[in-house]
Structure 1
Amino acid sequence: MPLRTSVRVACRRCRKKRAKCDGQAPCSRCEEASEPCEYDVVQRESKGELRAETARLRKSNVEGDVVLRAVASIPDPHMCKIALQGLVDGSLSRDDILREYRDRASDSSGPSSHTSQTQSPFSQQSTVQGFRQDDPATCFEQLLTWRSCRPNPRTVDAPTPPPLSLPPLPLDAYTAHSRQVDNWTRTGWTRAHVRHLIDALRTWDYLPFCLFCEDLFLRDYDSDSTRFCSFALVHAILALSTRLINESSDDAALLPSGWLSSQVFFDRAKAHLPDDSQLAELPDIQALGILALYRLRCGLEAEAGELAEVFAARVTEFCQRSPPEDEAREDCTKARVITYCGAVSLIRMLSLVTGRLFNAPDPVISEDLFSLDQLAGGTRIAGQCRDGLRPNLSTTQSEPWNAQLIAANLFQLTEWVYNVILSAEADIHAASRDITSVYERCLRWYKEFFGVLAPDGGRTPFVLFVHMYYHFCLLSAFRPFVSLTLENAEVKPQEICTQAVHSILALAQSYDDLFTLRRVSGLIPYFVCASGLFSLAMEDGGSQVGPLRLRRGDGEAVMTEADLKEGELAGLQMLGHPRTPVQTSHVKISPAAHARSLLAKIGSTHLAAMTADKLLREQIASRFRQKQQQEDEEMAG
């Protein structure tokens, strides 16, 4: 039956005024009054049309049930939630899901040797060699070698350091640059939202930005160019940022707040990485370095190290290609240099902080392949690195947060420390003659580098991180010599290491005072844990590292009996403290107990730090039991 349209005689205005209407369009009354003339139109549908609409809705419901079953059949829960998110944001259609479901059903019904030749948009796996899963519970275990350090019996205990604190300095507020929808992800977020996450990561952890040229990346991100930006790099940065900023629980694909989890971005970054048969472009290579930092933050040390090695190998291969002969040649050279030196620094940093360098069976380990001087056929690239990253700290920089400057100097400091440790592994006595000159270079580095950064960025999270990293480098450099007496009597390794431990813990406490320890670089728990283990090792050797003085407000958190485990409380009692808090403006606490307290705070939002907290707590309790056993044996004797 065709549609029948019934038009009422009177228009709306005439009916409202109860006036006679001539039924014209417009009617004479509305035309004279210069008012709009509107009529109500009623459409009547036939029973056949209603039945057809009902059938269409039933079919849609059946298809919806099939789609839900298809999504529910995905074995990987992370991929399942990615598929659901794709349906919500429109990046995946129902046809995509149903097609994948039918393909998977046909694969499972065919011969067991049959393998699908195509990958679904939510089942792609990384093709980068070297990826492997490891247990987060084993992270920090290589730091246990710090417990094997023994003091020089002729070294006098270091004096108690004064309390350290820094006044707060508010961080600059973020300003949105655009409300355009981001084209690099399928989240439906605006560019401003993605830029906010990038800026937040820069605020709390600047180290990732030493692996790529941020200005070139942001320029190409805004212009949708793929020369210095890529899907893999954007997703890798978002994975690290989301992990740092939003996550206090592990491996949830969709956070309670509705945010996508970092695991989703990590999976998408891996899916966009080229396989070994393809030539990787620079942004995709840079994504490997960011993903290495992400996996370290997840407590997966082995996978982080493997990613860092792949990162260094790929960028070495890339640097041997000829740069493009166009107007972007200078930008490309700059990006190559920063990425190469960042890759070398990263692989050495991870080896240092995780303790792998001290546990390597052979001192000459694989990282030596990436030395500037040994880069295969790399005379041209090595020259670029030396010229492009040669620090000029005596010159006033217009941009204190210059990624090129920071990358150059972190690279330089890391190289000095890394090489002196390798030389000490090969010949401790020959290395002891060179450690004094390395120490003097480190002191100059510290003075000049922070002289440049101090004017505008002296009290930011990253500057505190670099302070801690510098002292950790000193602690690591002098660790092989801690039981020796050097030819230069003014340089005392044990005293330098003790001061470095005090500085690291005091800086971490200042970080807590200024910003809290909820958001820290993934390397900071390693600095703190190594400091606590080293202090225990010195006490095992009969040398007191010396307690730290904390303001009462800070000390109460670790001095309250309810908050302390038995071994930690004993650590305070060995320093002469009673079982109740001392009513003074400052309290004293052993470095190991202080490190344990800091790790507990970091662990509230950084799950990998909880492993370090547990490891250090077990070592403190073990030492307490050994001490009690020795005392019991002496009394029995």
Structure 2
Amino acid sequence: MLTNFSTRADIPEGYHLGPNMRRRRGPAFITKTACTECRKGRAKCDGQQPCARCTSKGGLKCEYNLSVHVRKEEMRQEINELRTHYQMSEKIFELLTSGDQANLIVSKLQQKEPLGEILEQLGGHSPAGASLTAASSSRRRESLRSDDTGVAQSKTEYLSPGPDESEMYCFENGSRWTKLPLGDTVIEHLLLLYFCWEYPIFSGISKRHFVRDFNSGHDRYCSPLLVNAMLAVGCRFSDQVEARMDPNDGDTAGMHCYLEAERLLSICRGERSVTVIQAMSLLSTWNSSRGDYKRARFYAGQAIRLAVEVGLHLDGDVDEVPDDVREVRNTTFWGVFMLDQAWSLATGCLPHISQEGIWTKEPTVFDKDELREWIPYAGDEIPHGLDLRQPSNVRAVYKSLCGLSTIIHSTLYVMYADTDSLTAREFLDQYTRMLNWYSTLPEVLRLGENSTPSVLFVHMYYYFSIILTFCPLANLRFLDSKISALEVCTDAANAAVTLVRSYESLHGLRRTPCFLPYIVFASGIVHLGSLDPKINPVETMTQSAQEVAILQLMSLYHGSSKRACRILLNRALRTNSTDANLDKDAEEDTSSLWKPLVMGLIWPLADTPRHGSISDDPTVIRRLSIAATYQEKLKNNGFERAM
């Protein structure tokens, strides 16, 4: 028989607890926040100032780093208050500019009367919820801010929502856009990851239009196809099991969303809309991360072809198109245009649109998210730290990538349209355009001014474009300027790897843009080709070791990085070995994804192309034929063979 006693005092004298009956503990004192020293020692803290443990130790500095968790309902209330305050401010400015009651308004403002009361006294109609003024919002923010360090901030302050984009970071009722068993919270988590780490790189999405229709349920700029494709990319950045088709296999991240998007795309065959074009570009991005070169290139080509069929490249001459529609169409076209140039550059072929085929101007308005603060999002909580907060500058990033892609577009035509007529002057003119583009980058995109993932990617992609532009000429020099193409490639590879290391130190390599493994791989191939392994094999292995290490860290999340790491390592071992079996294994490891890029980087660094399965790809054969013509014909057009 079990006997219950409410307290220790109720236990009768002489009563003994049995061997299997443990004394229950009373409710222990729980402190919500422990001091930094107790956290380090994983010890219990009483929450006092100073705490008992720090006092007993003597000499320990007892400090508290407060963290604040803001619920979504509170954040939305804060957003509504800011929106109301903005509407009242606009009304006040409108009355001031009219001049009728300007003096009265100024006097009331000087007396610090609430905006809502001023509007009521003037006979104006204050917006709904005007009683929730910005003063209450400001007081709540002040209460959330740490008094000493200012580290603790609310989620609303980090995002700094604008009045017209108050729901820019809120994705509501996401489950209505997909048939997959994903909850609204998981969908919002995946979309936040995409917009934090991948957007706006090669993106054809106007974020504010997408979010507006996503939350309202309208299908003009949002569709189940587009949402599922975006979720597939977002899954590459998530550690949650819901992001994987097989919870125990990280390689299946986003596979279920991708298959659902492909199913919806098959239903939408023949449909010509911006959401279909945007979804195709996202499917290309997902395949590039996974390492499927053929599908990535296929979807990128389909997206730009459909954009031309729809006429997105002609918006510059369509005056009757509303500004709102024009913005979405321009953004969509330039997003798929940039993606097409990236793959054309990597595969060494002409773009899918001609030199005279672009009639629309670069977007002047891409996203009104320019000054919104960016911080790395990884899960439900936002990490604290003032050093992580910086303007997103997505508009400047997008416009800069558009400008560089335009130069790449013309450079590809100079290189591959007619190799017989290529002269050193034409090539140097394109190189000069790249240098001028880089020297005139906006101040907000300069290194040291901003370090968001997209800003760092702009610099890395610039060096990547130089590598792939000069590699076909790696054995040549320019007669007039004595520029060595191999030296230019080597300098660009060094700069690219340095930037990747900076990215790693700031953000880690868990979440990187899907195209980043290609940049690291190209840099590694250049480093291997710039050295003679027979003369200094140790230096050759050391140069490639850093790229192999970076790719190894990214290989857990990008299938392309896993393949690139294996190929680069085999290539490094092969340069220091005469083993025929090792050479054969390296050739077999070079999958279809890397054939064009590998051969585009390797063939100018060798006297003759290597035999084996690597040369069976049509793209490789085409580039090898170009290589043969370059070595002889270009020497008569302002080039000479490098010694």
Alignment TM-score, normalising by the size of structure 2? 0.54
Match of 2:466 among 474, 480, 491: 474
Question: Aligned partners of 2:436 and 2:531: how far apart in 1?
Answer: 31
Question: Aligned partners of 1:312 and 1:202: how far apart in 2?
Answer: 22
Question: Which residue is equivalent to 1:406?
Answer: 397
Question: Which residue is equivalent to 1:417?
Answer: 408
Q: Deviations over 1:40-80 (max 9, x none)?
A: xxxxxxxxxxxxxxxxxxxxxxxxxxxxxxxxxxxxxxxxx
Confirm or deny that 1:332 pairs with 2:347.
Answer: no
| Matching residue's letter, 1:339 | T
Question: Aligned partners of 2:392 and 2:431: how far apart in 1?
Answer: 26
Question: Aligned partners of 2:435 and 2:331: how far apart in 1?
Answer: 24
Question: Which residue is equivalent to 1:288?
Answer: 280
Q: CA deviation at 1:374?
A: 2.6
Q: Deviations over 1:478-505 (max 9, x none)?
A: 2233322214426442322111011111
Question: Which residue is equivalent to 2:564?
Answer: 612
Q: Would the aligned equivalents of 1:478 and 1:493 in 2 still touch at CA under 8 Å?
A: yes
1:222 aligns to what SS in structure 2?
helix
Q: Would the aligned equivalents of 1:389 and 1:405 in 2 still touch at CA under 8 Å?
A: no
Q: Would the aligned equivalents of 1:181 and 1:188 in 2 still touch at CA under 8 Å?
A: no
Confirm or deny that 1:386 pairs with 2:379.
Answer: no
Confirm or deny that 1:504 pairs with 2:496.
Answer: yes
Q: Would the aligned equivalents of 1:338 and 1:404 in 2 still touch at CA under 8 Å?
A: no
1:485 aligns to what SS in structure 2?
strand
Confirm or deny that 1:533 pairs with 2:485.
Answer: no
| Matching residue's letter, 1:371 | S
Confirm or deny that 1:314 pairs with 2:306.
Answer: yes
Q: Would the aligned equivalents of 2:236 and 2:557 in 1 still touch at CA under 8 Å?
A: no
Q: CA deviation at 1:252?
A: 5.3
Q: Would the aligned equivalents of 1:240 and 1:262 in 2 still touch at CA under 8 Å?
A: yes
Confirm or deny that 1:597 pairs with 2:549.
Answer: yes
Match of 1:521 among 496, 513, 519: 513
Q: Would the aligned equivalents of 1:237 and 1:290 in 2 still touch at CA under 8 Å?
A: yes
Question: Aligned partners of 1:344 and 1:312: how far apart in 2?
Answer: 6
Q: Would the aligned equivalents of 1:432 and 1:481 in 2 still touch at CA under 8 Å?
A: no
Q: Would the aligned equivalents of 1:341 and 1:408 in 2 still touch at CA under 8 Å?
A: no
Question: Aligned partners of 1:319 and 1:492: how far apart in 2?
Answer: 42
| Matching residue's letter, 2:329 | R
Question: Which residue is equivalent to 1:465?
Answer: 457
Question: Which residue is equivalent to 1:206?
Answer: 199
Q: Deviations over 1:546-581 (max 9, x none)?
A: xxxxxxxxxxxxxxxxxxxxxxxxx43x57xxxxxx
Q: Would the aligned equivalents of 1:472 and 1:527 in 2 still touch at CA under 8 Å?
A: yes
Question: Which residue is equivalent to 1:238?
Answer: 231
Q: Would the aligned equivalents of 2:205 and 2:278 in 1 still touch at CA under 8 Å?
A: yes
Question: Aligned partners of 2:254 and 2:402: how far apart in 1?
Answer: 28
Question: Aligned partners of 1:258 and 1:599: how far apart in 2?
Answer: 16
Q: Would the aligned equivalents of 2:544 and 2:572 in 1 still touch at CA under 8 Å?
A: yes
Match of 2:212 among 219, 225, 237: 219
Confirm or deny that 1:373 pairs with 2:356.
Answer: yes
CA change 1:247–1:507 in 2 (3 A) is: farther
Question: Aligned partners of 1:216 and 1:406: how far apart in 2?
Answer: 19
Q: Would the aligned equivalents of 2:287 and 2:295 in 1 still touch at CA under 8 Å?
A: yes
Q: Would the aligned equivalents of 2:197 and 2:511 in 1 still touch at CA under 8 Å?
A: yes
Q: Would the aligned equivalents of 1:603 and 1:609 in 2 still touch at CA under 8 Å?
A: yes
CA change 1:263–1:189 in 2 (3 A) is: closer
Question: Which residue is equivalent to 2:263?
Answer: 271
Question: Which residue is equivalent to 2:475?
Answer: 483
Question: Aligned partners of 1:511 and 1:311: how far apart in 2?
Answer: 30
Q: Would the aligned equivalents of 2:229 and 2:282 in 1 still touch at CA under 8 Å?
A: yes
CA change 1:543–1:424 in 2 (3 A) is: farther
Question: Aligned partners of 1:466 and 1:304: how far apart in 2?
Answer: 21
CA change 1:180–1:444 in 2 (3 A) is: same
Question: Which residue is equivalent to 1:452?
Answer: 444
Which deviates more, 273-282 or 252-261?
A: 252-261
How many residues matched?
A: 396
Question: Aligned partners of 1:180 and 1:327: how far apart in 2?
Answer: 35
Question: Aligned partners of 1:592 and 1:260: how far apart in 2?
Answer: 29
Q: Would the aligned equivalents of 2:304 and 2:340 in 1 still touch at CA under 8 Å?
A: yes
Question: Aligned partners of 1:592 and 1:185: how far apart in 2?
Answer: 44
Q: CA deviation at 1:277?
A: 5.7
CA change 1:471–1:320 in 2 (3 A) is: closer
CA change 1:597–1:181 in 2 (3 A) is: closer
Cα RMSD, aligned residues only: 4.0
Question: Aligned partners of 1:543 and 1:398: how far apart in 2?
Answer: 52
Q: CA deviation at 1:539?
A: 2.0
Q: CA deviation at 1:466?
A: 1.6
CA change 1:196–1:422 in 2 (3 A) is: same
Q: CA deviation at 1:615?
A: 0.6
Q: CA deviation at 1:305?
A: 0.7
Question: Aligned partners of 2:190 and 2:393: how far apart in 1?
Answer: 20
1:514 aligns to what SS in structure 2?
helix
Question: Aligned partners of 1:401 and 1:272: how far apart in 2?
Answer: 32
Q: Would the aligned equivalents of 1:180 and 1:191 in 2 still touch at CA under 8 Å?
A: yes
Q: CA deviation at 1:453?
A: 2.8
Q: Deviations over 1:164-221 (max 9, x none)?
A: xxxxxx9996797466564212457565653332222222222456211111111111
Q: CA deviation at 1:511?
A: 1.8
CA change 1:271–1:430 in 2 (3 A) is: closer
Percent of pairs with identical residues: 23
Q: CA deviation at 1:628?
A: 13
CA change 1:259–1:342 in 2 (3 A) is: closer
Greater Cα radius of gyration, structure 1 or 2: 1
Q: CA deviation at 1:455?
A: 9.4
Q: CA deviation at 1:600?
A: 1.1
| Matching residue's letter, 1:243 | R
| Matching residue's letter, 2:552 | A
1:245 aligns to what SS in structure 2?
coil
CA change 1:388–1:466 in 2 (3 A) is: closer
Question: Aligned partners of 1:277 and 1:417: how far apart in 2?
Answer: 31
Q: Would the aligned equivalents of 1:464 and 1:511 in 2 still touch at CA under 8 Å?
A: yes
| Matching residue's letter, 1:279 | E
Question: Aligned partners of 1:459 and 1:505: how far apart in 2?
Answer: 15
Question: Aligned partners of 2:559 and 2:425: how far apart in 1?
Answer: 42
Q: Deviations over 1:209-265 (max 9, x none)?
A: 62111111111111111111111101100011012323899x952425999951111
1:196 aligns to what SS in structure 2?
helix
Question: Aligned partners of 1:522 and 1:213: how far apart in 2?
Answer: 20
Q: CA deviation at 1:468?
A: 1.0
Q: Which runs of no fewer than 5 residues in structure 1 stay unpaired? A: 1-169, 376-381, 392-396, 545-570, 576-588, 630-637
CA change 1:464–1:621 in 2 (3 A) is: same
CA change 1:338–1:543 in 2 (3 A) is: farther
Question: Aligned partners of 2:224 and 2:296: how far apart in 1?
Answer: 20
CA change 1:221–1:210 in 2 (3 A) is: same
